[in-house]
């Protein structure tokens, strides 16, 4: 079934992004774990996972067991899967039975893992998450020795595959001191594991921003989300990196595009209101087009009278309010436009581009939120 709009995922852009990320990682055998929580940041888990695998990725990070399940069934290469957050109690056995690894951040979770692994006669693959300063989840350094005692007593049902933590905003230099403290705490935790006889586990701390800014946090695995999709974690990181390297264009390429087509066209006379309410009055005789995409399709209502879309390679404004299923645009200057013509909501047409950031009033910070709000029901296709 076709939707009223479609999302295109560019294999070429994705490949370029992985090339860039691997170049940053250098020759060291650091594992690139592709973070695909939030429906692969809106790109669609089912289409994204096999594509990333074709680009050489073989490890994925998700937030929850339901996402892990989707990755498991999308994977064509038996890739590693790591859950960084929630596991529903009723799905714990599925997770352990399928060798999905997971962050272990509480005594309850540790005990649950041991008891299920016993029942299944398996080893649960755990990443010991330490609290280094984000204050979200993780064992504090002070409780870690006690936890490690429990782990040591159950090694026939536990495999410590990793030691991890998450940084509290590596994308902003304002957090520099807090991050520095976190890096020190992480080293302390590592020391504790070594003292307790653990070895061979993967140390991981870095997200996209840390990968660029704090090379010493790369360790054995990096959890890369936003950058693989072609976005910088913040404008600051972009400026810092491209400035230092004197780059003229960004090495990261947007993977996603979003397109629809004109549904209908009509002429409106000067002085008439367009759409619901009276937020837009025609100030001249106008030619307007309706697009079959509204806020229920993820085209935000806040783009009313503000957004831009591309038609015939020209940037044209959204006029009036964005409706549930439709949006009106001004095509007065595009005489050749007709029903059925392509309209680009995100992406290129000729040499014009609508960026994701332009949706969020040019704020890159919001890329994360904007992307993950693209509805799952939109059809997604791979393009070159």
Ligand X SMILES: *Cc1c(COP(=O)(O)O)cnc(C)c1O
Q: Whole-number minimum distance, CB 210 to ligand X, in Å?
A: 8
The least CB distance from residue 202 to ligand X, in Å, is 13
32 binds ligand X (CB under 6 A): no
Please name which of 372, 369, 368, 378 lies closest in space to residue 39, comparing C-alpha atoms: 372
Site for ligand X in 57-86 (CB under 6 A): 84
Phi, psi of 104 (to 5 degrees): -115, 115
Q: Give me the least distance between CB of 41 and ligand X, in Å please.
A: 7
Q: Rule CB under 6 A: which of 214-253 touch ligand X? A: 223-227, 233
Q: How many residues bind ligand X (CB under 6 A)?
A: 13
- Pick 52 or 289: Cβ nearer ligand X: 52
User: Binding ligand X by CB under 6 A: which of 123, 127, 157, 166?
Assistant: 166
Per-residue x/- track, 114-153, ligand X (CB under 6 A) = ----------------------------------------
Closest to ligand X by CB, 129 vs 330, is 129
Q: Sketch the per residue contact string, 356 through 375, with ligand X: x for CB under 6 A, - otherwise.
A: --------------------
Query: Among residues 147, 161, 207, 274, which is the contact residue for ligand X, using CB under 6 A?
Result: 207
Q: Which is nearer to ligand X, 226 or 357 (CB)?
A: 226
CB of 228 to ligand X, least distance (A): 8
**From residue 84 to residue 103, what is the string marking binding to ligand X with x (rule CB under 6 A)?**
x-------------------
Residues that bind ligand X (CB under 6 A): 35, 37, 84, 166, 207-209, 223-227, 233
């Amino acid at each position: 079934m076709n939707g009223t709009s479609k999302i295109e995922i560019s294999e070429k852009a994705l490949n370029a992004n992985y090339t860039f990320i691997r170049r940053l990682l250098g020759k060291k055998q650091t594992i690139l774990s592709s973070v695909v929580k939030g429906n692969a940041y809106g790109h669609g888990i089912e289409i994204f996972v096999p594509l990333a695998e074709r680009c050489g990725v073989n490890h994925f990070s998700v937030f929850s067991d339901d996402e892990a399940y989707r990755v498991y069934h999308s994977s064509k290469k038996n890739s590693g899967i790591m859950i960084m957050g929630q596991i529903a109690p009723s799905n714990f056995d599925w997770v352990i039975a399928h060798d999905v690894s997971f962050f272990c951040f509480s005594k309850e979770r540790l005990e649950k893992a041991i008891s299920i692994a016993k029942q299944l006669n398996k080893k649960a693959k755990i990443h010991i998450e330490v609290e280094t300063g984000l204050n979200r989840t993780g064992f504090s350094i002070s409780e870690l020795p006690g936890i490690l005692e429990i782990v040591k007593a159950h090694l026939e049902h536990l495999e410590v595959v990793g030691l991890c933590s998450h940084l509290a905003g590596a994308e902003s230099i304002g957090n520099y001191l807090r991050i520095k403290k976190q890096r020190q705490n992480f080293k302390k935790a590592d020391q504790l594991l070594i003292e307790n006889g653990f070895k061979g586990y993967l140390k991981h701390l870095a997200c996209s921003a840390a990968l660029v800014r704090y090379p010493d946090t790369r360790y054995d695995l990096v959890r890369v989300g936003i950058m693989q999709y072609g976005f910088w974690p913040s404008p600051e990181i972009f400026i810092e990196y491209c400035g230092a390297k004197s780059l003229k264009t960004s090495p990261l390429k947007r993977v996603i595009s979003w397109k629809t087509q004109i549904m209908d066209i009509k002429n409106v006379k000067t002085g008439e209101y367009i759409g619901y309410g009276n937020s837009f009055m025609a100030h001249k005789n106008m030619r307007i087009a309706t697009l079959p995409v509204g806020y229920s399709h993820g085209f935000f209502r806040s783009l009313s009278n503000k957004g831009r879309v591309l038609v015939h390679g020209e940037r044209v404004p959204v006029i009036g309010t964005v409706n549930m299923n439709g949006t009106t645009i001004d095509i007065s200057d595009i005489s050749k436009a007709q029903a059925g013509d392509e309209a680009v909501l995100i992406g290129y047409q000729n040499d014009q581009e609508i960026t994701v950031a332009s949706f969020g009033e040019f704020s890159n910070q919001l890329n994360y939120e904007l992307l993950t709000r693209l509805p799952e029901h939109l059809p997604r296709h791979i393009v070159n």
